[in-house]
Homo-oligomer: A and B are copies of this chain.
């Protein structure tokens, strides 16, 4: 069994290592510190943080409602909410355009309100949130179901109002899942490409995130693309590792 696990791990690690061997180390620094690369990296970090925040704000209530209430059509809503996981991102971008674009469902309304989403950094954040939200909802809802409602019930009999129960019992209990869900969301937002391209466009410093920059560099300079990929990879690893460091495993484990 350990052998199979090792094969599985190798299957993932080997390509990553292979890619690292492709990096043109001599010019690495020059490649990754070019103006366009830095702009893309900074934009990516900024938008991913915003998208993660949005995921937490929207996703925590969604997970709570899905895990703690029952309503008609819940299973359908749950499935639909998870769909962006499945959708090829480009399709996600088309869908976002159909909803929030100038000629989309809400386009006219937004225009009247003076809100222009297309070609703005907001669009990037929305695209990233759209694809990353299911990650947060999924991890959190699972954790909430597994944690069960027994501790919450005890807290209620001790006189805690629902908001107190949420703040002092529910959230602390699922904190590891919330954190790992947020990390996943951040990571997914950081790697988001197709929906951003379709929905937000690609302008340096405004909408061209790191994955888009990588794609562009690939056209003319595959070395630069590989180098940038490595940067993206290292940033992701750093975020994932740092966050997991602070999580000591599931709370209450024996």
What is A's interface to B at a CB cutoff of 8 Å? 1-2, 4-5, 7-9, 11-19, 21-22, 57-59, 61-62, 64-65, 69, 75-92, 94-96, 98-100, 104-106, 129-130, 133-134, 137-139, 142-143, 145-150, 177, 180, 184, 187-188, 190-194, 211, 214-215, 218, 225-226, 229, 232-233, 236-237, 240-241, 244-245, 249-250, 253-254
B233 touches A86 (CB 8 A): yes
List the B side residues contacting A82 at CB < 8 Å: 187, 240
Measured CB to CB, the nearest residue on chain B to A77 is: B9
B13 touches A81 (CB 8 A): yes
A18 touches B148 (CB 8 A): no
**Separation of A194 and B76 alpha carbons in the complex (Å):** 29
Copies of the polypeptide in the assembly: 2
B65 touches A1 (CB 8 A): yes
B241 touches A75 (CB 8 A): yes
List the B side residues contacting A218 at CB < 8 Å: 90
List the B side residues contacting A184 at CB < 8 Å: 85, 138
List the B side residues contacting A84 at CB < 8 Å: 12
**Separation of A75 and B187 alpha carbons in the complex (Å):** 17
Instruction: Tell me whether chain A's interface is mostly helix, strand or loop, or mixed.
Output: helix
List the B side residues contacting A16 at CB < 8 Å: 80, 83, 95
Question: Smallest Cβ distance from A48 to chain B, in angstroms?
Answer: 10
**Separation of A80 and B240 alpha carbons in the complex (Å):** 9
Measured CB to CB, the nearest residue on chain B to A253 is: B148
A12 touches B81 (CB 8 A): yes
List the B side residues contacting A226 at CB < 8 Å: 94
